[in-house]
Chain A
Amino acid sequence: MSSLVPSPTDENNPQTRTGTAALSIRGLAKRFGEKIAVNGISLDVPPGSFYGLVGPNGAGKTTTLSMATGLLRPDFGSVTVHGVDVWGQPLEAKKLMGILPDGVRLFDRLTGEQLVTYAGLLRGMDRETVIERTGDLLRALDLTNDAGTLVVDYSAGMTKKIALASALIHAPRLLVLDEPFESVDPVSAANIRDILAGYVRSGGSVIVSSHVMDLVQRMCDHVAVIAAGTVLAAGTVDEVRGDATLEDRFVELVGGRSTSEGLSWLRTS
């Protein structure tokens, strides 16, 4: 299964620079009206790493990833992908990235197969490669039987999977996945983890946002904890968590855990 996603170091990726970070974020900031969503975030995703981005709801994860992928123009700061400036040379940078955004619609009046094909053709790939890879991806994500169903009729988990397939089709060197496991069933999630692990082994880099700490601890080698738009801790998973579990460390960093005094009336016995 790991051979399924084409190697990110093949000839489809012209820009092969070594020594630079897969994704380098410097002083990124964004405000929406009164609210400062992201307040000066700097991160480095080393090449070949599996990077977890964790934080409570509303911490600015999605905003950060949108700015890092060229979907949302930052107020301050810069982003480079393998040394290519995302906001200076957007077309070159986007070729290197596969993006799974969270909370956006898909072109859901297409069938699953058409949607993945569309993503491939938009990237300028040739038809034979697109058709072949679409078949492979649908098989790997267990969507073959629904390939001809309209995406609008998919369940939430299937929608997530088809969006992931659209992000993988051009064999990017960096995958940016915003909440890829949300509402995905355990079997599919395990399949996706295998695919991603194989992808990282072959030299690709992944940054994934999640609030399932357990998953991040098992899957990722690097992690950054962000809250209220700033980085609280970043580094390898072992560095960040120390002796505790990632979840305990996260709660300790972010705070806000309420003691179990309240809601005494909720006890039924």
Chain B
Amino acid sequence: MVADLLRLKLLLLRNSLRRSTGQLIGVILGGLYGLGLLGVLVVGLVLLGTAELELIRTILVIGGSATVLGWIIIPIAATGIDMTLDPARFVTFAIPMRQLLAGLVLGGILGIPGVVTLIASLTQVITWIRYPAAALTALVCGLLAVLLCVVASRLVTTAVSSMTGSRRFKDVNGIVAFIPLIFLGPIIGGVTAGFQSSPGFARSLADILAWTPLGALWAAPADVAAGEPGAALLKFLIGAATLVLFLVLWSRSLTHALVTPPYNAVSKRAGGNLGWFARFPATPAGAVAARALTYWLRDPRYSASLVVIPFVAVLLYFSGGGSGTAFAFLGPLTAFLLAWSISADISYDNTAFSLHVSTGVSGRDDRLGRAAALLVFALPITLVFTVGPLLITGRTEDLPVMVGLSIGLLLTGAGLSSIVSARYTYNVPLPGESAFKTPPGTNFTMFAVQFIGWFVMLLLALPEIVLTVAYFVTGQSLYGWLTVLVGFALGGVLLVVGIRTGGRWYDRRAPELLLAVSANR
């Protein structure tokens, strides 16, 4: 039975690769990335063996704890990261729990992250080769730690997926769980700063982690090497007990999940509230704008980017150390990000886009509506984010140039996005999926479109950028006012051109666009 589950996993992988070459390239790239990472890890771990005991211990404990933590956190942030062996699919088969658990654990290891973790923890044995007893302990503890990683991650997935019965929970979770990841950079920065400021910091961090379930199994070999078998045994017991506890909890929640099909509690609601549809003009373009704006607020894939924006502000504020140089560019950066955010609009519609094709909406109306929905909130946000930082840091004399640059970028970008989304589609998270899930396959197209698109956007906004540079170099306010003028005028013209050109392309290619987005579902 266990072997059957493993074979099933491999078969699913092979068949998914056979479906598209794009996916194959994705897996190969992922494999190469994993291989590279693994190479660095293995070489590092082998070299580490020549270091002194204290350093080996500190690095292994902190690195190991981070690995376990990663296995726990990542599945929450990216809901359904690897659900090829989703327990819910085994509901109708009478598989004994013990065998199902074993199969799911081994199936969890069988994947790029699992294999990398496994090989890295086995390499630990070589790290400890100077201390034979420690090496033996490292072999046992390393294997247990890998099991702990997989079981902990599966436990979290099962627990979360039984909670995610309701769509609302799924929507909110997809966004909220990502917030800590945004701050991962600053957190890592803080920890690194801690390492640099005091050499004892890492050691005391490792000392604490060594007594937690996260680091206990990684610390046990070090205690053996240091000649403290008692402490080693205790840590081994902590790790083993955690593993057993997690297994029991997982088996329980799995048993529960298998007899409790997901149920979506929905309260009936009568109509009468047309929302934005009552507020926008009753024209095709107005309807598209109302629909798009509704989606900005209601579809987590869109609202996630709105939630992220305030955090960008916080990040920029702190990254400049309060000096305000980086913070002052919050407005242009926000404008840039927001303007580009509608560049994959039709990909996000997925096959719902067929309504636009079947009702025969003209390309101009479609483009205009989507751009209008964006500008309705992007203009005020950009203005606030441009003016606010300058007021806070007391640089009001820079107002004209920054407003000009921001507005120029926003309008130019909205125009460019109107063209891009009518021409290029690529795989994006499907409706209802987490906003941060990276869909497999055709990632190359996505990166190409993104990078070339950004480059073109900067090229189109070059007049504003040059004027801004001129302003800061010469300090003459004339350049500032020129930036405002060019930002509004050139940006406005490019927006109109973008909507027109995008509209013409849309009219010519609407059925092909629909066919392209149908491929991803």
Contact = CB atoms under 8 A, between A and B. Distances in A.
A146 B269 contact: yes
Contacts of B362: 91
Contacts of B273: 111, 113, 148
Interface stretch (B146-154, B230-238, B251-259, B283-291): B283-291
Nearest to B295: A109
Contacts of A148: 269-273
Contacts of A112: 271
A121 B284 contact: yes
Interface stretch (B88-96, B477-485, B511-519): B511-519
Contacts of A95: 360
Contacts of A4: none
B18 interface: no
A78 interface: no
A17 interface: no
Contacts of B352: 104-108
Interface string B153-170: 000000000000001000
A29 interface: no
Q: Which of A103, A130, A152 has the most CB of B within 10 A?
A: A152
Contact of A118 (B268, B272, B287, B512): B287
Interface stretch (A6-14, A67-75, A194-202): A67-75
B299 A121 contact: no
Interface stretch (B71-79, B114-122, B274-282, B420-428): B274-282
Nearest to B299: A109
Contacts of B200: none
Given A119-B355, A122-B355, A124-B284, A113 B271 contact: yes
B283 A121 contact: yes
A105 B351 contact: yes
Contacts of B294: 109-110, 114
B359 interface: yes
Given A73-B512, A105-B352, A123 B359 contact: yes
B358 A69 contact: yes
A223 interface: no
A121 B275 CA distance: 14
Contacts of A150: 298
A126 interface: yes
A143 B276 CA distance: 21
A132 interface: no
Nearest to A146: B268
B431 interface: yes
Contact of B277 (A114, A144, A149): A114
Nearest to A170: B359
Nearest to A92: B360
Given A91-B360, A117-B277, A166 B511 contact: no
A73 B511 contact: yes
A28 to B, nearest CB: 14
Contacts of B350: 105
A20 B167 CA distance: 49
Given A121-B283, A122-B287, A130-B282, A72 B514 contact: yes
Interface string A227-254: 0000000000000000000000000000
A258 interface: no
Contacts of B271: 111-113, 135, 138, 144, 147-148
A3 to B, nearest CB: 22
Nearest to A135: B271
A127 interface: yes
B462 to A, nearest CB: 37
B266 A149 contact: yes
Contacts of B290: 118
B270 A71 contact: no
Interface in A124-148: 124, 126-127, 130-131, 135, 138, 144-148
A145 B294 CA distance: 21
6 tightest CB-CB pairs across the interface, nearest first?
A147-B271, A94-B360, A121-B287, A148-B269, A127-B282, A113-B271
Interface of B: 167, 264, 266-275, 277, 282-284, 286-288, 290-291, 294-295, 298-299, 349-352, 354-362, 431-432, 511-512, 514-515, 518, 521
Given A97-B358, A147-B272, A148-B272, 15 more contacts: A71-B357, A72-B511, A72-B515, A73-B515, A91-B360, A106-B352, A108-B431, A113-B274, A121-B283, A121-B286, A121-B287, A122-B356, A144-B271, A148-B270, A153-B266
